[in-house]
């Protein structure tokens, strides 16, 4: 049911739980005269459900991402980022991309075991695996479950290259594994930073690490010899795009080797969720923000076409691109080395019992 909350829930990003796009019937709350709509909503606890997957590596053929395979230890994300492009994927589970996405999580307890089986198949071809691309592999529940660390242990054992994108300082827990892999060019890390404004971040991404804490993580990874980039993402027109140069400069000062940006994406139900957030937290800028988004998306809220979905199009999008290029030139980032695929090794199968005779 699409329920608009009277006030934001502490630690949650979405303000509603809209029906997903596959529902045949759309429902909404109606005031029955008993003042039920004005009652403060109670806190919603996070629930965990086992995701019984038969495989753990997902493959894609997208020309605008630098990888063809990924692993997502979790479905849904407790970080609660209201802008998250992955929210609509919860509709495939019969759930809402709203509060359900950040409170009803699914995890793969046997992810490491499945991964080991997949990369040891005879026909497996080694290529970098992107970890935590759809939903963050270092969201709060990882502290309890440790599934991401188990995955890293398998990849390290087999000298398999990987990349990680996260907005959590929890990745520092695994510096021991990552630093050893970095010695052989087997890992690249990207820390996502949307804004340097602490108060804005608190409402945009309520359970992610604070912006300054993420910059500390960049510094600690760099100090450990781990290649690290900063991803200014998503850039939200009018709201955060003015921070692009500041984010890139802060990243360089923290020791980042590279930086990039992605324009805000609003697929499917995310349009309604983000509009609710704007009305609640940025009412005076809401129309300006939405207008500028449409300027970058051919007059629509979103474009899904390859080559356009990450950067947008039009005058404003082109200006962002030029600002980024100029800032990168001025900051003189050193860049990162390509991941090494030559060291990959599969497990040696145990000899059959008959080999003894």
* CA–CA dist 213, 208 (Å, integer): 10
Give the pLDDT confidence of 319-341 residue by residue, as tens digits: 999 999 999 999 999 999 999 99
341 within domain boundaries:
no
- Work out whether strand 69-71 and strand 57-59 pair parallel, antiparallel, or are unpaired: antiparallel
In sequence order, the β-bridge partners of residue 57 are: 71
Of the given ranges (38-52, 180-194, 225-239, 331-345), which has the lowest mean pLDDT? Answer: 38-52
Res. 352 pLDDT band, cuts 50 70 90: very low
Cα 18 to Cα 82: distance, rounded to the nearest angstrom? 13
Concatenate the DSSP letters of all residues of 300-345 into one string: SS----TTTTTT--SHHHHHHHHHHHHHHHHHT----PPPP-TT--
Q: Is residue 37 part of a domain?
A: no
Where is 58: in which H helix or E strand?
Answer: strand 57-59
Query: Are 15 and 276 spatial neighbours (Cβ–Cβ below 8 Å)?
Result: yes
The C-alpha angle with vertex 220 and arms to 75 and 69, in degrees rounded to 5, equals 35
Could you give the 3-state DSSP secondary structure of residue 20? Answer: coil
State what percent of residues in the chain have pLDDT above 70.
89
- φ, ψ at 102 (rounded to 5°): -100, 0
d(CA 226, CA 306): 31
Contact between 340 and 186 (Cβ < 8 Å):
yes
Distance, in Å, from the CA atom of 54 to the CA atom of 69, rounded to the nearest integer, reads 16
pLDDT tens digits, one per residue of 228-256 = 999 999 999 999 999 999 999 999 999 99
Q: Does residue 28 belong to any structural domain of this protein?
A: no
Both tokens of residue 100? 């359900």
pLDDT confidence of residue 115: 98
Q: Could you tell me which residue, 3 or 101, shows the higher pLDDT? A: 101
Q: Is 34 exposed, middle or buried (0-12, 13-18, 19+ CB in 10 A)?
A: exposed
Query: Does residue 1 fall inside a structural domain?
Result: no
Residue 2 DSSP code: B
Cα–Cα dist 300/304, whole Å: 11
The answer to whether residue 48 is domain-embedded is yes
pTM of the model: 0.89
Q: Determine, yes or no, domain membership for 246.
A: yes
* Burial label, 285 (beta-carbon count in 10 A; 0-12, 13-18, 19+): middle
Q: Where residue 7 falls among pLDDT bands split at 50, 70, 90? A: low
Please tell me the total count of domains within the chain: 1
What one-character-per-residue DSSP string does 82-132 give? TT-TTGGGGGGGTS-TTHHHHHEEEE-TTHHHHHHHHHTSTT----PEEES
Give the pLDDT band (50/70/90) at residue 44.
Answer: confident
pLDDT score recorded for residue 340 = 98
Could you tell me the residue range of the domain that residue 98 belongs to?
A: 44-335
Tell me, yes or no, whether 348 lies in a domain: no
Residue 17, domain member (yes or no): no
Instruction: Give the orientation angle of helix 211-223 with respect to helix 175-182, to 10 degrees.
Output: 50
Please give the backbone phi and psi of residue 231, each rounded to the nearest 5 degrees, phi first: -110, 110
What's the whole-number mean pLDDT along residues 281-301?
A: 95
pLDDT of residue 14: 87
Sign of CA pseudo-dihedral 10, 71, 186, 321: negative
Residue in the block written with tokens 């890139």: 248
First to last CA, the chain: 67
In the three-class reduction of DSSP (H, G, I as helix; E, B as strand; rest coil), residue 271 is classed as: helix
Query: Which of the two residues, 35 and 208, has the higher pLDDT score?
Result: 208
Both structure tokens of 69: 């395979």
Task: Give the domain CATH number at 133.
Answer: 3.80.30.30
Query: pLDDT higher for 25 or 48?
Result: 48
């Amino acid at each position: 049911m699409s329920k608009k909350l009277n006030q934001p829930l502490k630690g949650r990003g979405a303000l509603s739980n809209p029906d997903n796009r596959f529902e045949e019937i759309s429902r909404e709350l109606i005031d029955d005269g008993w003042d039920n709509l004005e009652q403060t909503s109670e806190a919603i606890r996070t629930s965990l459900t086992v995701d019984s997957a038969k495989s753990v590596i997902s493959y894609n053929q997208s020309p605008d991402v630098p990888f063809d395979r990924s692993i997502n230890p979790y479905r849904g994300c407790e970080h609660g980022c209201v802008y998250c492009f992955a929210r609509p994927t919860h509709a495939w589970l019969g759930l809402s991309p709203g509060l359900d996405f950040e409170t009803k999580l699914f995890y793969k307890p046997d992810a490491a075991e499945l991964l080991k089986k997949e990369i040891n198949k005879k026909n497996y071809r080694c290529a970098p695996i992107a970890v935590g691309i759809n939903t963050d592999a270092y969201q709060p529940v990882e502290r309890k479950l440790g599934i991401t660390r188990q995955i890293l242990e398998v990849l390290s054992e087999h000298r398999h290259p990987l990349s990680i994108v996260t907005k959590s300082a929890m990745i520092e827990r695994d510096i021991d594994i990552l630093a050893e892999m970095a010695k052989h060019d087997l890992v690249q890390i990207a820390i996502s930073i949307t804004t340097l404004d602490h108060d804005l971040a608190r409402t945009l991404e309520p359970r992610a690490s604070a912006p300054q804490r993420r910059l500390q993580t960049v510094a600690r990874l760099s100090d450990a010899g781990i290649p690290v980039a900063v991803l200014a993402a998503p850039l939200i027109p009018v709201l955060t795009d003015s921070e692009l140069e500041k984010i890139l400069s802060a990243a360089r000062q923290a020791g980042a080797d590279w930086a990039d940006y992605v324009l805000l994406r609003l697929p499917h139900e995310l349009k309604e969720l983000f509009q609710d957030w704007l009305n609640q937290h940025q009412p005076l800028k809401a129309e300006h923000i939405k207008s500028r988004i449409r300027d970058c998306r051919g007059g629509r809220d979103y474009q899904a076409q390859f080559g356009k979905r990450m950067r947008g199009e039009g005058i404003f999008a082109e200006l962002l691109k030029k600002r980024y290029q100029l800032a990168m030139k001025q900051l003189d980032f050193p860049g990162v080395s390509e991941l090494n695929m030559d060291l990959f090794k599969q497990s040696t199968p145990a000899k059959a019992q008959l080999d003894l005779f």
